[in-house]
A = this chain, B = another copy of it.
Amino acid sequence: MPRQIRFNAFDMNCVAHQASGLWRHPRDRSREYNTIRYWTDLAQLLERGTFDGLFIADVLGTYDVYGGTNEAALRNGAQVPVNDPLLLASAMAAVTEHLGFGITAGTAFEHPYPFARRLSTLDHLTNGRIGWNVVTGYLPSAARNMGNDDQMEHDRRYDHADEYLEVLYKLWEGSWEDDAVVVDREAGIFTDPAKVHPIEHHGEWFDVPGIHISEPSPQRTPVIYQAGASPRGVAFAAENAEAIFVAAPSADVLAKTVKRIRDGLEAAGRDRYDAKIYTLVTIVTGATEEDARAKKAEYDQYASTEGALTFTSGWMGVDLSQYDWDEPLGNVQSNAIQSTLQHLKEEAELGREWTVGDLARRNAIGGLGPTIVGSGEQIADELQRWVAEADVDGFNLAYAVAHETWEDVIEHVIPVLRERGIYPESYAPGTLRQKLQGAGDRVKDTHRPARYRVSERAVV
């Protein structure tokens, strides 16, 4: 069987997630982000397209590197205002049967005890379709509003997250035996107390002596998502993640990242393919190449250069408001910008120097990932090339115009992929984990959470 391609959709509980300024497009629906209908329509659409899941990003702060304030972010609707992603899941689960939900939440936001219950609750309500995208840090502006002067130092953050996950794994895997809940109506026994165990966690950051307060859900531990690419981030992902989201400007850069991640998985005692890797892509397509190019040109008219600079400044850690838009990128004092410039030159010949404004216009639609424009056949070719060259499992599809971008993919690209036998005709049965890994609803024995199972621990 030829190598299969998987799709995820990438959105956020705000306007114009990776498409700066495109909330102005007359067909864009992202202004409805604060209604239930926006999300239930989207979930049903993605399920029609046999997407693995919907991945919902999140930040709890504003982008304020650009100009040193949040003014540009507010003016451009650049991921602010932004609402909570967890609260969308039950409405979307009610109107779908198979779609997974990968929801972002930070290990620095909430004590693990109530957080464990939130995810168990969603895993119950979705019948095992919840993934959690683990974020270890947050924007400095979020840290300040949580009463901290700044976020923890990078590697220290991961140590904190390690213990945070340990508490969660003990609660999810190590507290209730599978047959603890008996619901014996004759004997009047709902739960057998002998089969529910306090976790007795006493660590550096957390003391959690008691039992998990939720009964076991279909997956117990939700599918763990991760999106870090630093060395410590990759080590963390290798131990914990079952789906990994990356962004790379080209297939050869991606190939190196993917190899590093798969090597990390092996180093952590897991199979190289135990985590599905999805790379960020924005697809603009239509009935023909010409249609697609016209659509892209039309979208570009609504893109916001200032919005894109606001994001890019935040991502790269440099205040680009100091530069004119026609300043050559080569003059910007920033290692991140200089390394990006190398990729930009490979990506496209401008016939002149790349400027700050060019970078912004390139990032305005699709953020740090590539934007691929073409007919369904052309898109399919390009996706197959990325998979072949980079050993990636699938694509994390951002939108230019919500929900039109995904509708176009379903109409023009998926039929071609199916014709080629490289895209599923329907969903596999079972939970999200079973769909992704095909090896059961629960974590594999080689995966870190399994170390905290009741059966692995000394049971009093």
Contacts and interface: CB of A to CB of B under 8 A. Distances in A.
A90 B88 CA distance: 6
A235 to B, nearest CB: 27
Given A125-B91, A190-B75, A83 B36 contact: no
Q: How many copies make up the complex?
A: 2
A270 to B, nearest CB: 30
A385 interface: no
A71 B89 CA distance: 33
A352 interface: no
B60 A117 contact: yes
A111 to B, nearest CB: 6
A148 to B, nearest CB: 9
B81 A206 contact: no
A147 B207 contact: yes
A147 B87 contact: no
Contact of A81 (B75, B80, B214): B214
Given A87-B118, A117-B84, A210 B75 contact: no
A211 B60 contact: no
A68 interface: no
Contacts of A76: 188, 190
Interface residues of A, number: 74
A215 B81 contact: yes
A432 interface: no
A109 interface: yes
Which of A31, A81, A89 has the most chain B CB atoms inside 10 A of its CB?
A81
B213 A61 contact: yes
Contacts of A15: 190
Contact of A183 (B13, B23, B191): B23
A109 to B, nearest CB: 5
A69 B460 CA distance: 15
Interface in A192-241: 192-193, 196, 206-211, 213-215, 217
Contacts of A147: 111, 206-208
Nearest to A72: B193
Contacts of A190: 15, 23, 74-77
A276 B185 CA distance: 39
A313 interface: no
Contact of A209 (B81, B121, B145, B206): B145
A304 B213 contact: no
9 contacts: A24-B185, A36-B90, A74-B196, A87-B87, A111-B146, A141-B210, A144-B210, A145-B209, A188-B304
Nearest 7 CB-CB pairs, A to B?
A: A77-B190, A90-B91, A34-B124, A81-B215, A83-B121, A71-B193, A84-B121
